[in-house]
Amino acid sequence: MPTRRTDGRDLDIVLFGATGFTGALTADYLAQHGPEGLRWAVAGRSREKLEKIGAQVGADVELIVADSGDPESLASLAARTNVVLSTVGPYVGRGEALVAACAEAGTDYCDITGEGEFVDQMYVAHHATAVGTGARLVHGCGFDSVPHDLGAMFTVEHLPADVPIDLRGVVRAGGLPSGGTFETALTGMSRVRKIREAAQARKRVEPRPVGRSSRAVAGKPHRDKLLGYWLLPLPTMDPAIVARSGAALPTYGPKFRYSHYAGTKTLPYAVGGAVVMSGLGLASQLKLTRDLLMKWYPAGDGPDSERRERSWFTVDFVGEAGGETVHTRVTGGDPGYTETAMMLAESGLCLAFDDNPAVAGQVTTAQAMGANLLARVQAGGMRFEVRQSS
């Protein structure tokens, strides 16, 4: 039997959004890899759909009807469990009520958002409450941003201590997004001003580390001689998450800087990728074209199992500190769905059962779970290796 908290709650984990594409994969993972005696439930708006998920996983799982538009149902859900996992996105406009319920109830919360605006809004609105109740609010427990956050932590562990560290991460992947991820990306591209406002609001209230500094640095397109890739700055949430871990953890040294890129083997691919992203960014500014694109690839759709089996990702890290250079690599399978389901499920199990650092409030995966989560995702099939050290 797993070691669990003794606070009288009758569930260890509730998976909210289990009837969606990624939610169903996460339910499958928990059913197959959860410890014996795991007390868990799947939650969503439709009992009929939840019953199908229950039949699909073939496990002893409770069904809970709850709606992101019904705060009372979310408060009841949060009060019963130690950890809530959420796959309901886009999170801006849909996700806050559940975060609020968990913060108030002292319930740990994980999601798979890549929406920096949402994460910043939740910090401003609910971090202080969570600190008071002891809840750990951990955003970005999927491909955004576990491989990057834990990969940076892994690399820092192989660099000299107590000296400035410059680190760059380079992402390469082969796979298809789901309709929900496509919708989230388009929504984010259409909200640049809102994203900037949320970041500024957080900056005004978030304390900075004393005697140290940690920040994300916007890089420029260039060719990386060590890796042999053309690099394009990647404006995702990941560099902000890595920098927050650097601010929270003294092991990242007195001055930590992180840059984040997409890597391609040839210049034409780099140029083509930039053109496609620019085109989607322009299309996202108009509601008509945005709606047409979402209709073309609707939420709820995603790659089939055969395509996911062929999908892959790598994240290369190059760290420089005290005259030393270390090259590490994180590798895995289908990044957006198979691996994200594993990472989210293992994050929930880690919070529910492992002896983690004593933290509360909105925290990163490295800050909240660190070595415990690293060991769990390695057991789940992700690989962390040192490629070169000099």
Three-state SS string over 327-384 comes to EEEEEECCCCCHHHHHHHHHHHHHHHHCCCCCCCEECCHHHHCHHHHHHHHHHCCCEE
Give tens-digit pLDDT for 110-126.
999 999 999 999 999 99
* Of 193 and 206, the one with more pLDDT: 206
pLDDT of residue 148: 97
Residue 139's contacts (CB-CB under 8 Å, 6 or more residues apart) are 110, 111, 113, 118, 119, 122, 362
* Cα dihedral: 290, 292, 298, 303 (round 10): -90
The stretch 274-289 carries a mean pLDDT of: 59
State the average pLDDT over residues 254-274: 80
Average confidence (pLDDT) over 379-388: 96
Check whether 133 has a pLDDT greater than 70: yes
- When pLDDT is averaged across residues 341-354 and rounded to a whole number, the result is 98
The full set of domain ranges for the chain reads 11-143+339-376, 146-334+383-389
Contact status, residue 2 vs residue 38, Cβ threshold 8 Å: yes
In this structure, are residues 357 and 304 in contact, taking their beta carbons and an 8 Å threshold? no
Whether residue 257 has pLDDT greater than 90 = yes
pLDDT at position 191, please? Answer: 74
Helix/strand/coil (H/E/C) assignment for every residue in 193-256: HHHHHHHHHHHHHCCCCCCCEEEECCCCCEEECCCCEEEEECCCCHHHHHHHHHHHCHHHCCEE
Is the pLDDT at 1 greater than 60, yes or no?
no
Question: Which of the four pLDDT bands, split at 50, 70 and 90, describes residue 325?
Answer: very high
Higher pLDDT, 117 or 286: 117
Percent of the chain residues past pLDDT 70, beyond the cut: 85
CATH class of the structural domain 11-143+339-376 = alpha beta
- Taking residues 9-14, what's their average pLDDT? 96
pLDDT of residue 360 exceeding 90, the answer is yes
Question: If pLDDT is split at 50, 70 and 90, which confidence band does 59 have?
Answer: confident
Residue given tokens 């990702």 in the structure block: 313
d(CA 195, CA 240): 13
**pTM of the predicted model as reported, rounded to 2 decimal places:** 0.92
Q: Which of 273, 253, 254 is nearest to 262 (CA)?
A: 273
**Of 150-159, 173-182, 300-309, 342-351, minimum mean pLDDT range:** 173-182
Q: Tell me what pLDDT residue 265 has.
A: 84
Percentage of the chain beyond pLDDT 90 is: 73
When the pLDDT of each residue in the chain is averaged and rounded to a whole number, the result is 90
Please measure the distance between the N-terminal and C-terminal CA atoms of the chain and give it in whole angstroms: 45
User: Between β-strands 383-389 and 361-362, what pairing exists: parallel, antiparallel or unpaired?
Assistant: unpaired
